[in-house]
Amino acid sequence: MTKDVLVSVKGTRLMGDGDDTVEVITAGTYYEKNSRHYILYDEAVECLEDVTHNIVKIGEDKVEVIKRGIVESRMTFEHGKKHKASYVTPMGLILLGITTSALEVKTDDTAISLHLEYALEMNGEYVSSCRTDIRASSRRDSVLNLD
């Protein structure tokens, strides 16, 4: 896969009265090092001029999402395990609990896809079940174009 990629991040909170889905599509960078896949991309925050730099580090059985910028966090996803994370925003600190129930990675010559399912807690209280899908595909092979 090429270094220049198109990154799609789709997050869904599964709630009783309907699902809440947010999707971001942006340019990014991909590389592989020491048997790990890395996806880097920037994410703009609504109503603010700053961005958050994201690193998705995909290992054999663990995924880390590292955010730096207007939002700061290091979230770990590992099947069958609960991890805690601090999520720092301009509005304050949120303590997260993440219990991962599904972690699937698929790769081919032109793309890498990541599927996560997890229970989310905020400040010790269960909030919702969540699903996140991240896909990085070679920009030259993508049907979408950001230029």
Q: Is the pTM of this model over 0.85?
A: yes
pLDDT per residue as tens digits for the range 80-108 = 999 999 999 988 999 999 999 999 999 99
**Is residue 147 a part of any domain in this protein?**
no
CATH number for position 23: 2.40.128.20
pLDDT at 146: 53
**Is residue 58 a part of any domain in this protein?**
yes
The C-alpha atoms of residue 114 and residue 45 are separated, in whole angstroms, by 23
**Is residue 78 a part of any domain in this protein?**
yes
Number of separate domains in the chain = 1
CA atoms lying within 13 Å on the CB side of residue 71: 20
pLDDT at 145: 53
**Is residue 146 a part of any domain in this protein?**
no
pLDDT per residue as tens digits for the range 51-84 = 999 999 999 899 999 999 999 999 999 999 999 9
SS (H, E, C) the chain: CCCEEEEEEEEEEECCCCCEEEEEEEEEEEEEECCEEEEEEEEECCCCCCEEEEEEEECCCEEEEEEEECCEEEEEEECCCEEEEEEEECCEEEEEEEEEEEEEEEECCCEEEEEEEEEEEECCEEEEEEEEEEEEEEHHHCCCCCC
For the record, the structure tokens of 100 come out as 């991962």
**Is residue 81 a part of any domain in this protein?**
yes
Q: Which domain holds residue 119?
A: 4-141
What's the mean pLDDT in 9-38? Answer: 92
**Is residue 128 a part of any domain in this protein?**
yes
